Structure 1
Amino acid sequence: MDPVELASMLCSRLCHDLLSPVGALNNGIELLADEQDPEMRERCMELLADSAAATANKLKFFRLAFGAGGGFDDLVDPREARGAIEGIYGAAKRIELGWMVGDERLPKGAVKLLLNLAMLAGDALVRGGRLDIGAEQSANALEIVIRAEGPRILLDPALRDVMVNGSATMVEPRAAGAWLAQALAADAGGSIQLSGATEPVLMIGATLPLAAEGRLTQR
């Protein structure tokens, strides 16, 4: 995919996800300006607080998953990734999170890949469920595993194709994370694996070769 096209898709995805909480902020301010009842004003303040928190959590997640979050170092503290995931999925309490990643710092590209795969799996839990995220680093490779389980799992076949093959069959904002994940894995000389579409549990795995000092290899 052309870099400009990918950047446009990422921006569109960011704007789409921020539209709801920012719109709620705007509605809350309008209600607060006209409301005189103390109880209703308190409710408006709660709405504003919830919407502001949701906006901040989404910005934190996308900054780390899409942007330059984590600073300029090549390695990132995985606790930043955990906080970002908990912010967008744990806050609503629809999805139970499991975290099986050590405290050892990970390559920035691997953290971005982990976040994008977690987002794809979390979005597939349309009725909530459980999202488990794991990563294990050896001398030569980094293994990432995402497991999603719930009453209904919906992952578009086109998204599957994008993640594994980089296919151009889907060019729209909701495919941004899949495109970026595939590009990150391919750039590091790695690959993404998916469980079958008919399996009751969604499993997403990625294997990334490591060079010296725990850095990702680059093509």
Structure 2
Amino acid sequence: MTNHNAQLAALVGSRICHDLISPVGAIGNGLELMQMGGSGGAELALVHDSLANAQARIRFFRLAFGAAGQEPVAEAELRRILSDLAISARQRVHWQVGGDVPRAQARLVFLAIMCLENALPFGGEIAVTRDGSQWTITGKAQRMLIDEKLWEALNRSGADVTPSEVQFALLPLLLEEEGRRPRTRIGQNEIVILL
């Protein structure tokens, strides 16, 4: 994937997320009106939970796959996205970084989180820290699933991946634009990604 193709893909991602967030939000408004009108029950609760999950995923994907610049993303927004996502996720993300973050950096970190989610399908903990300009994203779990082909893909651009693995191809490509590469350490119960 060339730089031009990556930018085009980011614009497509932004457009899809932008177009989905409005109707999904309208569904949420409709649910609130139904609840205020006395409707309820297990069925409505299930729809509400599914809606909250969809909204959280869209906001997460908007940062991970959307067009990014240097405008900041507020710390509160980053924490809110990850907190909302945790409601239905098997992995818990601990954001240990204070302050706002440039959107381009947040995108890289969110892609790294997605890579770790792939390796922690049975659940686990993901910690995000920063020391100066160095980001460290660490995943820990008692059981991990390591697809060596995917983790090797982080070391080169142009990897052959499926749609559910696109983060493994996109992350090194975006870092390459900055003249950098991700570094990884894989242990028995821990994976570290350094950006």
The TM-score with structure 2 as length reference comes to: 0.75
**1:125, 1:152 within 8 Å by CA — same for their partners in 2?**
yes
Distance 2:79 2:181 in 1: 23
**Displacement, 1:189?**
1.7
Q: Deviations 1:53-109 (Å, cap 9, x if unpaired)?
A: 11101111011111147xx65333243333222322x11363333221121x33322
**1:132, 1:147 within 8 Å by CA — same for their partners in 2?**
yes
- Equivalences, count: 174
Distance 1:193 1:99 in 2: 20
Kindly indicate whether residue 155 of structure 2 is the aligned counterpart of residue 155 of structure 1. no
Kindly indicate whether residue 81 of structure 2 is the aligned counterpart of residue 92 of structure 1. no
Cα 1:106–1:93 change in 2 (3 A) is closer
Percent identical residues: 26
Distance 2:57 2:89 in 1: 15
After superposition, residues 70-81 of structure 1 pair within 5 angstroms as: 74-81=71-78
Q: Per the alignment, in what secondary structure is the counterpart of residue 113 of structure 2?
A: helix
Question: Residue 204 of structure 1 corresponds to which residue in structure 2?
Answer: 193
Distance 1:178 1:63 in 2: 17
**Displacement, 1:188?**
1.4
Unaligned residue ranges in structure 1 (runs of 5+): 26-38, 207-219
Q: Per the alignment, in what secondary structure is the counterpart of residue 66 of structure 2?
A: coil
**Displacement, 1:201?**
0.8
Kindly indicate whether residue 118 of structure 2 is the aligned counterpart of residue 119 of structure 1. no
Alignment-mate amino acid for residue 192 of structure 1? P
Question: Residue 210 of structure 1 corresponds to which residue in structure 2?
Answer: none
Distance 2:136 2:129 in 1: 5
The TM-score with structure 1 as length reference comes to: 0.67
Alignment-mate amino acid for residue 46 of structure 1? A
Unaligned residue ranges in structure 2 (runs of 5+): 28-38
Alignment-mate amino acid for residue 82 of structure 2? I
Among 2, 6, 9, the alignment partner of 1:7 is 9
After superposition, residues 7-26 of structure 1 pair within 5 angstroms as: 7=9
Cα 1:85–1:123 change in 2 (3 A) is farther
**Structure number with larger C-alpha Rg:** 1
Distance 1:83 1:125 in 2: 22
Question: Which runs of 4 or more aligned residues in structure 1 lie more than 6 Å from their structure 2 counterparts after TM superposition?
Answer: none
